Structure 1
Amino acid sequence: MNVKAAVYEKTGEPLQIRSLELDEPRANEVQVRITATGVCHTDAVVRDGWMPTEPPMVLGHEGAGVVEKVGPGVSHLAPGDHVVLSVNSCGTCEQCLNGHPAYCLNIFVHNFAGGRPDGSTAFTDADGAPVKSHFFGQSSFAEVVNASVRSVVKIPDDFPLELAGPLGCGIQTGAGAVLNVLRPVAGGSFVVFGAGAVGLSALMGAVANRVGTIIAVDMVDSRLELAKELGATHVINGGTEDAVERILEITGGGVQTALDTTGNARVFQQMINSLAVAGHAGALGAAKAGSEGVIDLPAALARGIRVTWIVEGDAVPQLFIPELIALHRAGHFPFDKLIRTYAFDEINTAFADSESGEVLKPIVVF
């Protein structure tokens, strides 16, 4: 099948729209016609060489669409099903079997290696040369993909596919960090550093969990205004205020739960310093190799704090994404307020608008 795709061809350069040949779905694969796909920070950091993944490759890992075919061994999905595509995993290692597929021991092979575990790829170019596929088990910057079945999440047919894609990664990551890992108590306190798409998803998770004091820290006033609209009780501009001092003042001595979405070492330190005794902090921002965050170990011991590094919200996508859809339908998780849509041919504009901060969560629509 001939499909249009956005191909990562050179490190640090815009994606190129190309015509590629897609093979047939193999065992435990699902062929999905993509309706829309989110543009995520992880796509950008791979394109820019932060991770050991080499071109040419079709990126994209927040796909949403309709099943066209299923490969051998797939019995719980059928043509016509509406699906979201999420992180891939092996399904057989200790972490997968314990319900933590985001920490799959074979995570690189199934998400970043550029093909199937046997080394084959789903795409070839006009000359028959292989183009890497199966980024996060899907490579959703293409009109049609052959996705690993463990990346595929069935959703209700009446939920808008143009909206659903980011549930597969960015939205799931932020909300899951709060609802699955930090679990702030109703009436308790929570602060998120970074009011981007992931941070605001975390904030909405805290609102849905009925947390009493919810603080957002960012340097962009428009994002802080949106944070208030989404339910933040307090906002702090970290460029003009001492964030730690304000958090200690607001909470009367320290926040119970905190999340850093920035990957910035200085911000990470601020998060640690803002914690209450026995506080729990989470970190999930992607940082360049060599970035270091410093913790005062004796002080941390005396305060009994915990720090958890979080991947994909520690979620089981097939269970958690339907929960987020249910919260959205109930009016408790309005993630649609983060989104702007683009035509697929405008994908590089979507990347640029995300990187500039103009747009929180771009979605490209086929």
Structure 2
Amino acid sequence: MKVTAAVARSQGAPLTIEELELDELRHGEVRVRMVGVGICHTDAIVRDGVYPTPLPAVLGHEGSGIVEAIGDGVTSVAPGDHVVLAAAYCGHCTRCRRGEMAYCENLMAADFGGRRLDGSTALSADGEAISSHFFGQSSFSTHANVVEESVVKIPADVPLEHLGPLGCGFNTGAGTVLNELQPEIGSTLAVFGAGAVGAAAIMAAKVRDCATIIAVDIHDSRLELARELGATHVINSRTEDLGQTLASITNGAGVDYVVDTTGRPELLRAAADGIAVRGTVALVAATRPGTEVSFEIGASLVKGWTFKTVVQGSSVPQSFLPQLIQLWREGRFPIDALITEYSLDDINQGFADSADGTTIKPVVIF
């Protein structure tokens, strides 16, 4: 069938809006008509060649839509179901069988390979192969053939347009706090970077009843919103000394938990220097391979602190995303405050506005 999609054709170049051919459903696939799709930092770094998805490609991995058809073997959804699309996983490796889908041993092939396991792609343009199945979905398109593992059925009475980012950005921030760190009531948690992922982490920290929630960013507008979402303190790291301010807020005790969404080595070093005894620094940012950070390991040895990386909020999307929707229903996860809508034709403006801080979470509405 013919679809309209945003295509990444060359590294660093704007996406082009094109008519493509979407092939027939294969075993285990679901055809989804997109209603909305978030624009994520990971889309940008793949467009720019930081991660290895072959170009040309249709990116997009925060889709939401309605099931139009199902392939052979699909049992979790039926035509007409409302769905949010999340990251793909193989389902059969050791990690998947342990319920650790975010750490699938075949993650790179499932999410970044641009092909089905048999080497085929679902998309083409006049016989030219276009990489598909990005994160199992390639949702910068009016329709997509999506692997069943990426599909999460949601209640039909929930508005679909803004829910796509639950599949990645909001899932990552909230899941890192709720699933991985699980901070104690009354603890101190700092979030470095108050974009979409960071904002979700702040909201989740409030859900967990952290007593002190610190938002760190360089945009005052984001810091103001972070306060509205639950931050008790904000730091503009461009105008304030981050280390001194963290020490002042915690009376020298340090921060119990840090969620870093920036991937900037100097900020990770500051997080490690400002961590409390038995504290944890969690890195969630997708950063260029080869990036290194230096930590002090002499005096900090006696802290017994932890540094860890967290993927997709350590969540199982099919069970965790419904929990986030319940929090949204209760008014405790107000994602709509973060979202700015764009048309598919304006998708490159969405990328630009996200990069310069104008927009926290751009969402393309079909």
Q: Shorter-normalised TM-score: what interval?
A: over 0.9
Residue in 1 that maps onto 2:136: 137
Alpha-carbon shift at residue 94 of structure 1 (Å): 0.7
Aligned residue in 2 for 1:61: 61
1:220-276 Cα deviation digits (max 9, x unpaired): 111111111111111111111111211122112111111111000000001111111
Rounded to whole Å, the distance in 1 between the matches of 2:19 and 2:132 is 14
Instruction: Measure the CA separation in 1 of the matches of 2:82 and 2:299.
Output: 50
Could you say which residue in structure 1 is the equivalent of 2:207?
A: 208
Question: 1:297-336 residue pairs with structure 2 within 5 A?
Answer: 297-336=297-336
Amino acid at match of 2:348: N
- The SS at the match of 1:186 is coil
Paired residues of 1:67 and 1:83 also in contact (CA < 8 A): yes
After superposition, residues 72-87 of structure 1 pair within 5 angstroms as: 72-87=72-87
C-alpha displacement of 1:295: 1.0
1:359 is aligned to 359
Supply the distance in 2 between the matched residues of 1:299 and 1:48 (Cα, whole angstroms).
Answer: 39
Q: What residue number does 1:246 align with?
A: 245
Gaps of 5+ in 2: none
CA distance in 1, matches of 2:101, 2:362: 26
Distance (whole Å) between structure 1 residues aligned to residue 289 and residue 22 of structure 2: 34
Tell me the equivalent position of 1:150: 149
Aligned positions of 1:68-107 closer than 5 A: 68-107=68-107
Per-residue CA deviation, residues 288-342 of structure 1 (Å, 9 max, x unaligned), is 2332111112333211001110111011000110000000110111111110001
The within-5 A match list for 1:252-263 is 252=251, 253-263=253-263
- Corresponding residue for 1:293? 293
2:26 maps to what in 1? 26
Q: Does 1:182 align with 2:181?
A: yes
Question: Are the aligned partners of 1:5 and 1:141 in contact in 2 as well (CA < 8 Å)?
Answer: yes
Q: Retained in 1: the 8 A contact 2:273–2:296?
A: no
Amino acid at match of 2:319: L
| Alpha-carbon distance between aligned partners in 2 of 1:299 and 1:292, rounded to the nearest angstrom | 21
Alignment partners' CA distance in 2, 1:271 and 1:131: 41
- Equivalent position amino acid for 1:144 in 2: H
Shift of 1:54: 2.0
- Looking at structure 2, the residues matched to 81 and 175 of structure 1 have their Cα atoms a distance apart, in angstroms, of 25
SS in 1 for 2:161: helix
Q: Distance in 1 between matches of 2:351 and 2:17?
A: 14
Q: Distance in 2 between matches of 1:56 and 1:298?
A: 48
- Residue 57 of structure 1 aligns to a residue whose secondary structure is coil
Q: Distance in 1 between matches of 2:352 and 2:231?
A: 28
Other-structure match for 2:233: 234
Supply the AA of the counterpart residue of 1:20. L
Whether the aligned pair in 2 keeps the contact of 1:7 and 1:17 (CA below 8 Å) is yes
Letter in 2 for 1:196: G
Q: Which residue of 2 aligns with 1:199?
A: 198
User: Which consecutive residues of structure 1, in runs of 5 or more, have no partner in the other structure?
Assistant: none
Q: Deviations over 1:113-154 (max 9, x none)?
A: 1111110110111x2221110000000001110000000000
How far apart in 2 are the matches of 1:211 and 1:332? 14
- C-alpha separation between the residues in 2 aligned to 1:237 and 1:55? 37
Partner of 2:298: helix, strand, or coil?
A: helix
> Counterparts of 2:72 and 2:286 in 1: how far apart (Å)?
36
> What is the CA–CA distance in structure 1 between the aligned matches of 2:332 and 2:231, rounded to whole Å?
13
Aligned match of 1:113 = 113
- Distance in 2 separating the partners of 1:257 and 1:315: 19
Q: What is the RMSD computed on CA atoms of the aligned residues?
A: 0.9
* Partner Cα separation in structure 1 for residue 283 and residue 328 of structure 2: 25
- Give the letter for the 1:209 counterpart: R
Superposed, 1:33-52 pairs within 5 Å as 33-52=33-52
Write the distance in 2 (CA, Å) between the matches of 1:348 and 1:67.
Answer: 27
Paired-residue identity, %: 52
Secondary structure of the residue that 2:162 maps to in structure 1? helix
Task: Report the 3-state secondary structure (helix = DSSP H, G, I; strand = E; otherwise coil) of the residue aligned with 1:163.
Answer: coil
Contact 1:182 1:281 in 2 (8 A): no
Alpha-carbon shift at residue 219 of structure 1 (Å): 1.2
* Residue correspondences, number: 365
User: Is the contact between residue 340 and residue 361 of structure 1 (CA under 8 Å) also seen in structure 2?
Assistant: yes
Cα distance in 2 for residues equivalent to 1:198 and 1:343: 22
